[in-house]
Amino acid sequence: MIDRKDNLILKTVAITIVILIMTCGLPCMLVNAGTIETCKMFYLPFKVSERHAYLTFQKRCTGSYGEYRRTRVAGHRHAGVDLRGSAGEQVFAVGVGRVAYRYWLFPNETVAIEHRLPGGEKIYSVYTHIADIGVNPDDPVDENTMIGRLFNAGELKKARFSFPHVHFEIRKSMEDMGRSSYTSMSKKELDQFCIDPRIFFRSHLK
């Protein structure tokens, strides 16, 4: 049996873990979420006209999947695309799904959303460099769910970013807790976990 002293120790450890997650940027990930509603349509993660159009997505894109990057871990390959926006612009989920992952450490605050495609396979949409995150693991979302916003002028300066954007990824898996996004030194490594968002959206946007 667990006595009163052991119970106190367990509670202290649990509280410490929670504090570390909240203050030190440790990731929080949902496990065994169960089934989720099928995502039949995808959208741009901004509330603009023609959100479901591939041309609208293309107009926001900067950078390319797989290109060389110097930030975070020098030499890694870019795991997605950067979608330009205005300072403080709201960021929305790209479709029906469930929040699977959240990371708190500035400037790499991240949300990953799990989506089930009509064929039954799962993919993840990932949003990085956002502030005021308003969702948590296990939250259901759709294209009208605001998950956060782009950095404002002060946050951009602190992060040393030249323009407001969301780093956006489409992933096959989150088993690596997102680490391959900044540790993959070749496109071959990157392709084990990620999909080029341009290729994915070319077939999932109108």
pLDDT per residue as tens digits for the range 75-108: 889 999 999 999 999 999 999 999 999 999 999 9
pLDDT-derived band at 18 (thresholds 50, 70, 90) equals very low
Cα 206 to Cα 115: distance, rounded to the nearest angstrom: 18
For residue 44, being part of any structural domain is answered with: yes
Backbone angles phi, psi at 16, to 5 degrees: -60, -40
Q: Is the pLDDT of residue 200 over 70?
A: yes
- Which residue type does 122 have? K
CATH of the domain at 113: 2.70.70.10
Name residues whose C-beta falls within 8 Å of residue 127's C-beta, 6 or more positions apart in sequence: 45, 91, 110, 111, 112, 113, 147, 148, 166, 167, 168
pLDDT-derived band at 70 (thresholds 50, 70, 90) equals confident
pLDDT value, residue 29: 61
For residue 98, being part of any structural domain is answered with: yes
* % of the chain residues with pLDDT over 90: 74
Cα 41 to Cα 206: distance, rounded to the nearest angstrom: 9
pTM of this structure? 0.85
Cα 135 to Cα 56: distance, rounded to the nearest angstrom: 25
pLDDT-derived band at 1 (thresholds 50, 70, 90) equals low
For residue 127, being part of any structural domain is answered with: yes
Domain housing 178:
27-204
Q: 40-63 pLDDT, tens per residue?
A: 999 999 999 999 999 999 999 999
For residue 19, being part of any structural domain is answered with: no
For residue 153, being part of any structural domain is answered with: yes
For residue 3, being part of any structural domain is answered with: no
pLDDT value, residue 8: 56
129, 165 Cβ separation under 8 angstroms: yes
Torsion sign (Cα): 49, 52, 56, 61:
positive
Average pLDDT of the residues of the chain:
88
For residue 9, being part of any structural domain is answered with: no
For residue 10, being part of any structural domain is answered with: no
The domain total for the chain is 1
Q: 151-167 pLDDT, tens per residue?
A: 999 999 999 999 999 99
